[in-house]
Structure 1
Amino acid sequence: MLGRSGPANGGTGAIGDGWHTGRVTRTETTDPSSPFHHEETDRDAAPQFVLPLVARIERAEPPARTDALETAARAVLVLLSDERAAGEGEWAQAVRDWQDARIRKVVRRARGAEWRRAEALPGITVTGEHAQVRVFPPIPLDGWPKDLARLQVSGTELDDPEPPAAPGADRPVLWLSPEVEMSAGKAMAQAGHGAQLAWWELPTEERAAWRAAGFPLAVRRAAPAAWQTLTRSGLPVVRDAGFTEIAPGSCTVVADHPALRRPAR
């Protein structure tokens, strides 16, 4: 159930948020069967799917930005590790089709009756400190259920009332780039990409332990002085194609899981 399950056809783990296709790399990877190998493949010719995520953002009580980002990242992991997404599960084929193409995620917002309609559709709701994000099995780009298609992509601007605390040394961290500015919705999708890359790279026993613990993680903005070291560390890196908001090829997230860290030499 928790076996390694990167893209089924090898090649790059190609990631995008919204309708934006990005690329993920691991700088030392040369193995073409690795999900981090980043040469062009037949992914672009495959049918394209998207992973929908809906954030609950009530007008009167929106969640804090970091809480929403962390909850979105956990939601991706919860779906990937769900029995319905593996083997002969009811969502497994959709997940395989999605991972065989450009791996896209769309974050939309809902409140009130919109949220209740979204919760009635097959999916999983993940709750953070206050944030709620519902993740759905992948769907074709042009196959959105009407109750999700009508939801807005905009309107996910969120703030942290106080700076988040520094994460513990043993806690997985998704480091956001200090060099690019992203809307909260885009950052939620990018955090989800980073969590997915860490999941692909972890060995089976580490996946099981992370899942059993409830997928603890932190999302933090990296210090400018540390960013170049992080992107060259050999940890999984998310790159964006730059169709909106940021420049093409920008590194947006480094997925720093303790089990993936290289020992100092």
Structure 2
Amino acid sequence: MVCVSSDDSPFVTEPTARDEAPQFVLPLVVHIEKAEPPARTDALETAARAVLVILSDERSLGEGEWAQTMRDWQDARIRKVVRRARGGEWRKASALPGITLTGKAAEVRVFPPVPLDGWPKELAKLQVSGTDLDDPEEPAVPDRTAPVLWMSPDVEMSAGKAMAQAGHAAQLAWWELTDAEREEWRAAGFPLSVRTATAERWKELTESGLPVVQDAGFTEIAPGSCTVVSDHPALRKP
């Protein structure tokens, strides 16, 4: 099966003008306490919403305080890195400028983009590893009247990597929508589901023309791996 990326996808591996631009990364931190870790799907969905919230935040738009950084980040490779924090680490991270999103139980804080080698010390010391989360119960059948981010059944990822990929997929859908469609989604609170597709469903999705994330392969998985399809109702072909 050939997996085709969406038009102008910044996640593909072929060198582009985006590679020549200064590189930034969008930091996300997930709150994981040893005694009560969040469910994997809850963490993935919360991370995806966090990306949408910072994209649509007034500070990220126009002449907002984060706007130039957001533009610089989106002009280059769209990198996201998820780190974990607990206890005092989480409190220190929460004191930095950013936005905290809460899911069913998951907490994810998203921060304005930072230079690839210029992380704030409070975030730089946080661990990337250790985000192996599980779902205690099988996730419910998703509501397809709202967007569904379908994860590949063929690519194994840690929860942290999968959270970043879900964020990529949400962002691809956001870019494809009209201003009116974006506002409708935002006003509704960015409803969405993240689910793993069956092999048969994955083949259909990757041939549907919907936006698909093709990973650059910086961490965990092979370059060019297709990881998530953004199944937004407004983008489905009749």
TM-score (normalised: structure 2): 0.95
Task: Give the match for residue 77 of structure 1.
Answer: 52
Given the alignment of the two structures, is residue 231 of structure 1 paired with residue 211 of structure 2, yes or no? Answer: no
Task: Give the match for residue 94 of structure 1.
Answer: 69
Task: Give the match for residue 25 of structure 1.
Answer: 5
- Mapped to 2, the partners of 1:131 and 1:177 lie a distance apart of 22
Q: 1:250, CA displacement in angstroms?
A: 1.2
Matching of residues 51-200 of structure 1 within 5 Å = 51-200=26-175
Count, aligned residues: 235
- Mapped to 1, the partners of 2:230 and 2:159 lie a distance apart of 18
SS in 1 for 2:100: strand
SS in 1 for 2:228: strand
Contact 2:11 2:213 in 1 (8 A): no
Contact 2:131 2:160 in 1 (8 A): yes
In structure 2, the CA distance between the partners of 1:94 and 1:243, relative to structure 1 (3 Å rule), is closer
SS in 2 for 1:182: coil
Contact 2:10 2:77 in 1 (8 A): no
Letter in 2 for 1:118: A
Task: Give the match for residue 179 of structure 2.
Answer: 204
- Summarize deviations over 1:193-227 as a string: whole Å, max 9, x none: 00000000011111001000100000000011111
Given the alignment of the two structures, is residue 216 of structure 1 paired with residue 210 of structure 2, yes or no? Answer: no
Identity in percent: 76
Matching of residues 223-262 of structure 1 within 5 Å = 223-262=198-237
- Mapped to 2, the partners of 1:103 and 1:244 lie a distance apart of 14
RMSD: 1.6
- Summarize deviations over 1:92-129 as a string: whole Å, max 9, x none: 00000001111100000000000000000000000000
Q: 1:249, CA displacement in angstroms?
A: 1.3
Unaligned runs of 5+ in 1: 1-23
- Mapped to 1, the partners of 2:15 and 2:221 lie a distance apart of 22
Letter in 2 for 1:46: A
Contact 1:25 1:36 in 2 (8 A): no
Unaligned runs of 5+ in 2: none
- Mapped to 2, the partners of 1:72 and 1:257 lie a distance apart of 17
Q: 1:229, CA displacement in angstroms?
A: 1.0
- Mapped to 1, the partners of 2:27 and 2:176 lie a distance apart of 23
- Mapped to 2, the partners of 1:119 and 1:181 lie a distance apart of 30
In structure 2, the CA distance between the partners of 1:37 and 1:160, relative to structure 1 (3 Å rule), is closer
- Mapped to 2, the partners of 1:92 and 1:241 lie a distance apart of 25
